Structures are given as C-alpha cells and as structure tokens.
Amino acid sequence: MFSSFVSNFAGFGVVAVTFIAMMGAGVAEESGLLGSLIRKLVGSAPKWALTFILILVGVISSVASDAGYLILIPLAAAAFASVGRHPLAGLASGFAGVAAIFMVNISLTPTDAMITEIANESLALADGEPITIVANYYFMVVSSIVMALVAAVVTEKIVEPRLGPWVPDGAVAHAEEATTDEAADRRGSRFALIGFLIVLVIVALATFLPGAPLRDPETGDIIGNTPFMDSLLFIIMLAFLVSGVCYGVGARTMKGSGDVIAAITKTFAGLGGMVLMLLMIAQFIAYFNWTNLPRVIAGSLAELLEQADIGAIPLLIGFIVVIVVLDFIMPGALPKWAIFAPIFVPLFMRLGVAPQTLLAAYRVADSPVNALTPLMVYLPFIVTVAQRYVKKAGIGTVVALMLPYSGILLVVWVVMFIAWFALGIPLGPGYPPSVP
C-alpha cells in the first residue's frame, strides 16, 4: 500500500489524457469558439432534434475514445444552457451518448478491432473460423440510431421534467446574458475555419500518402491498431487549440501568447478538485484489482452460466445479466471480454450460436451500466462540469440523473437484440446470428 501509492497514481493514464484534451478545449472555450459553435448548432438544429443530435454525436465520439467525455459532455451542458434548458439535462444526455451507448457506433473504432481479435483467439481454441471487424456492423449502426432516439426520449420525457426549470446564478448567469458582437464572431469563425483546415491538411498529409507516418508501418492500414488511431485524441486537441487561437485572434478576444497561456492555466486550475478525486480512485482501483476479486467473481459467474442447462436465448440473456453485474466492478470493456470469450465463445458455438452473436450480446451488456458505476474514471470530471451550473451537485446527483437512461436503454436494447436473433437478421455483411 505505502510503496505503490505514488506509482498507482503515476500509472493512472486518465490524468494525463484529461489534461491534454482539456488544453485544447480550454483555449477554444476561453476564446469564445465553443460558445460560437454552440450558438450555431442550436440555431441550425430544430428544437426537437437538438437532444438527439447531441446524443448521436456522443455515440460517434467513441471513435476518439476519451474525447467524448472531455469535450462532448461539457459542450452538451452548455448547449442546453444556451437555449434556457437545464444544463444538467444536457450533461446527462451527452453522458448517455458517450458512456451508456459506448460499445456501438456508426463507424468502426479501435475497440472493435481489439475485441474482435480477442474473439478470434478464442475461436482458434475451438477450431472456429475467425471473424472480421465488420461482424457486428449492421447491428452497431441500427443500435446507435435506435438507442440515441431512446435516450433522447428519456431526456425530454423523464430527466428534464424531473429537474424542473433552470435558474442560472452568479458567473453562469452573467455569461449567458452576455451580448455577442456578430461582426467579430463572423471574423473569428473565418479565422478558426482557416486554422482548422490547416490542421486537417497537415493530418491528411501525415495519414493518406503512401508510407505516411500515421499509417501502420507494416500493413499500411489507417484504421485499427495504428499510429493514426493512437493519435486521435492529440489531433482533436490540436484542432481545438489551433482553431481556438485563430478564433481569438480574429474576434480579438485573444491578443497574444499570454492570453493563450492564461486560458490553459485557468482550465487546469479548474481541474484541481477532479485531480484529488482521481488520486483516491486510482488507489481504490489498484487495491481492488490487487485482491483479484474481479477475476474470482467473473470466473464463478461464468461457471454458473456454463453449467446451466437452458436454451440459447435464455443463456444469452443470462450472459447479458452477468456482464451487467460485473460492469459495476470491472468497467473496462476489454478485461471482461478477455475473461469471458475463451469460456463462452466455444460454449455458444456448440449451441448453434455464432460468435458474432455473442459479441453483439456483449456490446448490449457492457454499455448501459458505464454511466452508473462509481469506478467510471471520468465521473469526477463530470461532477466538476455539473458543479459549474449547480454548485451543490455531487456524484449522487450524476448517478440519479443517469439511472433512467441505464435502465430503459438496457431493457429496450435486450428486447431489440433478442428480436434480431430470433428473426435471423444478419449482424454484419455475411454474418448470420446462428452457426450454419
């Protein structure tokens, strides 16, 4: 305990990731770029579609791993506040899109590549044919849209009415009432677009040319376990940073490097409380894993399901329930799948259930509880965002907001998955739900 206290925190990668991501977002916010983007989003999106659009963007943001938590959730809260809606409802909807629908997407993500590879290693043990990264693609796309719609309904029919009207106070109220210089905003937006395009061109040259440094040096791939995917968070940070500085120059909200440094310093200073909470969480997670309890519990539940003499659909539902329970103590998608895949992929194949179906069931089970578990590493950051608008907000506030999302999304998603399996709809191109 004493000897590992420093190393537990030093090895807690989320701390560095948070500061890197927030550096760009902080400059963009302080320069006025984020406010301008939010006003444009709110102004162009139909009122009825704003919630759905924010949630769907949150779902898509999982392509960039941590960026959704650090950028989209604060943006969603600010977007709601800008139109007089309760910012905690915006925060909750953004959190639902990023965390509770995490394991599906409209595009393929690095996580898809990793869990597919784990599945293939388990298939090799059972002499099965390997599957590809698109094995769940149809299911992922439909799930992304349907679950975003469900989360939008939960926001507008349950969460927002429970919160009641929002009465801004203090600095927040002053910020919301501030007038906008339209000419300066237009000029800043043009400068920001030029800055963004410059970053885009540099990234494109480093990615799409043959032998480019952001391609896989051996295969030349761009998507998958590649330098490009590893660089996504930095690329997003750089885009926000450069665009924010350019907007500040154009809108004359930033007059020199001192203003840029001051914006970053202000952003980092606001993360002090979160850093303290992350220090405590890092110790708890390290000690909890040291006890080996997660693996013992996972193994016991796996053995229980394996011995159950029931049909494929009840066993799939049982599998989903086990993963949901384990997600409270093992939030990471990869560790649980690494434990369960070697046990259940061969078992379900003997029952005529294809490995891509088990993988789809895992996607359903691993997502909704992400928004509830106290071991979610970004929970302290989300609490910090909530406290910008409601000073007395805490972890209990955020968990209470997310309960309706997790419960309803899980039920609807399980029903959709079982119907998909029963109807025999392909989960991806050339991937039926049952073994031929």
Chain centroid, CA 256 distance in Å: 34
What is the per-residue pLDDT across 324-360, written as a single tens digit (0 to 9) for each?
A: 988 888 777 777 787 777 777 877 777 778 899 999 9
**Beta bridge partner(s), residue 431:** 428
- What is the per-residue pLDDT for 368? 93
- What is the per-residue pLDDT for 334? 73
Query: Is 50 exceeded by the pLDDT of residue 176?
Result: no
Closest CA to 27 of 268, 272, 275: 268
In a domain, 256, yes or no: yes
Chain centroid, CA 392 distance in Å: 25
Cα 29 to Cα 36: distance, rounded to the nearest angstrom: 9
In a domain, 431, yes or no: no
Query: Is 90 exceeded by the pLDDT of residue 182?
Result: no
**pLDDT above 90 coverage of the chain, percent:** 33
**Measured CA distances, 259 to 102, 117, 266 (Å):** 36, 46, 10
**Measured CA distances, 160 to 53, 58, 87, 107, 433 (Å):** 16, 18, 9, 30, 38
In a domain, 85, yes or no: yes
Helix (H, G, I), strand (E, B) or coil at 386: helix
- What is the per-residue pLDDT for 169? 63
What is the per-residue pLDDT across 300-323, written as a single tens digit (0 to 9) for each?
A: 655 666 676 677 788 889 889 989
- What is the per-residue pLDDT for 348? 78
Query: Is 70 exceeded by the pLDDT of residue 125?
Result: no
Closest CA to 9 of 279, 272, 271, 275: 279
In a domain, 430, yes or no: no
What ranges in 256-394 are assigned the alpha helix state H?
Answer: 257-269, 272-290, 293-307, 312-327, 333-350, 355-366, 379-389
In a domain, 233, yes or no: yes
Cα 10 to Cα 16: distance, rounded to the nearest angstrom: 9
**Measured CA distances, 200 to 28, 31, 72, 235, 271 (Å):** 17, 20, 20, 9, 29
In a domain, 432, yes or no: no
Q: What is the pTM of this model?
A: 0.70
- What is the per-residue pLDDT for 274? 64
What is the per-residue pLDDT across 21-40, written as a single tens digit (0 to 9) for each?
A: 778 878 887 888 877 876 67
In a domain, 295, yes or no: yes
Query: Is 80 exceeded by the pLDDT of residue 435?
Result: no
In a domain, 331, yes or no: yes
* Region 8-21 average pLDDT: 72
Q: Average pLDDT of the chain?
A: 83
**pLDDT above 70 coverage of the chain, percent:** 86
Task: Give the Cβ contact number of residue 208 at 10 Å.
Answer: 12
Query: Is 50 exceeded by the pLDDT of residue 173?
Result: no
Cα 320 to Cα 369: distance, rounded to the nearest angstrom: 12
Closest CA to 352 of 234, 435, 271, 432: 435
More confident residue, 28 or 158: 158
Helix (H, G, I), strand (E, B) or coil at 226: coil
Cα 341 to Cα 101: distance, rounded to the nearest angstrom: 21
Side-chain half-sphere CA neighbours of 326 within 13 A: 28
Query: Is 50 exceeded by the pLDDT of residue 171?
Result: no
Q: Give the count of domains, the chain.
A: 1
> What is the span of the domain harbouring residue 162?
5-423
Structure tokens at 64: 């960039």
- What is the per-residue pLDDT for 12? 65
Structure tokens at 128: 């099965």
What is the per-residue pLDDT across 359-416, written as a single tens digit (0 to 9) for each?
A: 999 999 998 998 898 878 788 889 999 998 988 888 899 999 999 999 999 999 999 9
